[in-house]
Amino acid sequence: MTLYKRFFLSQFVFVILFFLNINLAAQSEGEQIFKSNCAACHTIGGGKLIGPDAKEWLSSDRFVSTDDPLGTLVKYVQNPADFGVLEMPAQALTAGEIKQVLDYVDGYVPEVKEVVTSIEVAEEESTNPVIILLIVTLILFLLILVLVSVKNNLKESLSLPTETVFESFKNYVTINRNKIIIGFVLFISLMYLLYNLMMGVGVVEKYQPDQPIAFSHELHAGLNGVDCNYCHSSAKNSAHSGVPSANVCMNCHAVVKGGDDKAKNEIGKIWKSFGLDIETDDFDWNKLDTYQQTPIEWIRVHNLPDHAYFNHAQHVTVGGLECQQCHGNMQEKTVGQVATAEELNKIDYNIKDGIEFDHPTLTMGWCIDCHRQKEVDMEGNDYYTEMHKNIKEKHEGVENFTVDMIGGLECGKCHY
């Protein structure tokens, strides 16, 4: 038994080491730092994003002209403000960490989109968690085989009866039944917790919470052709688009009470928010003040962090964008949902405007993707009659202006 325990322990340690190894192999520290601290603003070999291409950092005049380019670069990254740069936030990194980032940048080979070599594919797949799990399972299985044969060898040398893998397994299960059941339940709970945690962090694409009323955009905006602006009336002239109040619903649902029980039940919830019963009461606009209203508690779907500023009117009215370019085909969905970048790339308006998103919806990269590609229509746009001349002078010879040229990449425009 003690021998068995020792085997079990070594097996456990092996598994832990194995996992650590994979993490180290898949991502060097330099890569990790780059991805979490720099990638939002710098590409490697992909051209300028918000800051210059990382491959060009070391050849920048700013550093080349000094006695110690590398040392100056390190100082720069630690505190760009010392160099009069306010657009890049100071990075709390040690000189060693910054050098690791540079090593990673130096060794990084940009992915060639058309020609995908088999090596690249293999590398990409090895970081896929499913593949890693499969490999771990396989290795564990091999390990079991090896251990059982070792055990049998030992037993043989002590002239004890030997066991096959299956018999060992059966014995182990009968002896440890309770432990196995508890372990299994714990494992599943842990996985469930982890899954929920991961879904909650940063991932907003496809987010579509259940709403207090089974509202359907498809039925209203699709089949009945109600204009988005009828319900989201502030999108055209204010920063927030807002969700309609129950009064807006009552414009129709004071009369439209639903064709079947299910519909009537859901529409009844709108009535309830006025303190009325759809079956017995009457609705009277003149008595609106006397109703005990409790607002319908719609759950917010889109929610940018507080430090970011987004204005609907600027995009819809001034920029002339359609709702679908950012929200996808809402008229084909039930309740509100955050569209995915892939869905947005299939929207005709975006194809026509030459907009292709590379970053997940609602991230900073997503905003920038569009600002780099969408041309601003300045002719006949009152907002620009003043600005127009100045910009044309600034970018002489350029015919089409994208949003970034009118300041769409300036931090202060999107951040308080």
Of the two residues 114 and 279, which places its CB atom closer to ligand HEC in the complex?
279
- Closer residue to ligand HEC in complex, CB, 5/352: 352
- Binding residues among 159-198 for ligand HEC as defined by CB under 6 A: none
Stretch that binds ligand HEC, among 153-161, 181-189, 357-365, 389-397 (CB under 6 A): 357-365
Least Cβ distance, residue 165 to ligand HEC (angstroms) = 49
Backbone angles phi, psi at 225, to 5 degrees: 60, 30
The three-state (H, E, C) secondary structure of 43-86, written as one string: CCCCCCCCCCCHHHCCCCHHHHCCCCHHHHHHHHHHCHHHHCCC
Q: Which two tokens stand for residue 198?
A: 């991961």
Closest CA to 358 of 47, 13, 12, 4: 47
d(CA 66, CA 60): 10
Closer Cβ to ligand HEC, 87 or 120, answer by number: 87
Question: What is the crossing angle of helices 118-126 and 129-157, to 10°?
Answer: 70
Residue of 94, 153, 196, 303 interacting with ligand HEC (CB under 6 A) = 303
Stretch that binds ligand HEC, among 114-122, 135-143, 171-179, 308-316 (CB under 6 A): 308-316
Residues in 273-292 that interact with ligand HEC by CB under 6 A: none
Binding marks (x or -) toward ligand HEC, 196..215, rule CB under 6 A? Answer: ---------------x-xxx
Sign of CA dihedral 89, 93, 99, 104: negative
Judged by CB under 6 A, the residue of 88, 148, 276, 347 near ligand HEC is 88
Neighbour-count burial of 313, counting CB atoms closer than 10 A to its CB (0-12 exposed, 13-18 middle, 19+ buried): middle
Among positions 131-160, residues that touch ligand HEC (CB under 6 A) are none
Phi then psi dihedrals of residue 347, to 5 deg: -70, 130
Shortest separation between residue 194's beta carbon and ligand HEC, angstroms: 21
Between 181 and 411, name the residue whose CB sits nearer to ligand HEC. Answer: 411
Find residue 375's DSSP bridge partners: 402
Contact between residue 326 and residue 340 where contact means Cβ atoms under 8 Å apart: no
Q: Please, which residue, 183 or 209, has the CB nearer to ligand HEC?
A: 209
Between 151 and 302, name the residue whose CB sits nearer to ligand HEC. 302
CB of 145 or CB of 203, closer to ligand HEC: 203
At 367, the amino acid letter reads: C
CA distance 287 to 267: 20
Q: Which is nearer to ligand HEC, 130 or 255 (CB)?
A: 255
Q: Is 341 in the site for ligand HEC (CB under 6 A)?
A: no
**Contact status: 305 vs ligand HEC (CB under 6 A):** yes
Tell me whether residue 31 or residue 217 sits nearer to ligand HEC (CB atom). Answer: 217
Segment 1 to 60, residues that bind ligand HEC, using CB under 6 A: 37-38, 40-42, 50-52, 56-57, 60
Number of other CB atoms surrounding residue 229 within 10 Å: 14
> How many residues line the site for ligand HEC (CB under 6 A)?
103
Q: Residues 79, 91, 162, 168: which binds ligand HEC (CB under 6 A)?
A: 91
Helix boundaries (H) for 201-309: 217, 228-231, 246-253, 261-272
- What are φ and ψ of residue 43, in 5° steps? -100, 165
Q: Rounded to 5 degrees, what angle do the CA atoms 415, 88, 388 make?
A: 60
Figure out which of the listed residues 270, 276, 341, 347 binds ligand HEC, where binding follows CB under 6 A. Answer: 270
Write out the two tokens for 386: 């003043």
According to CB under 6 A, which residues from 372 to 411 bind ligand HEC? 374, 376, 403, 406-411
**What part of residues 213-252 is at the interface with ligand HEC (CB under 6 A)?**
213-217, 219-221, 224, 226, 228-232, 235, 240-244, 248-249, 251-252
- 415 belongs to the binding site for ligand HEC (CB under 6 A): yes
Identify the CA nearest to 407 among candidates 394, 396, 398, 399: 394
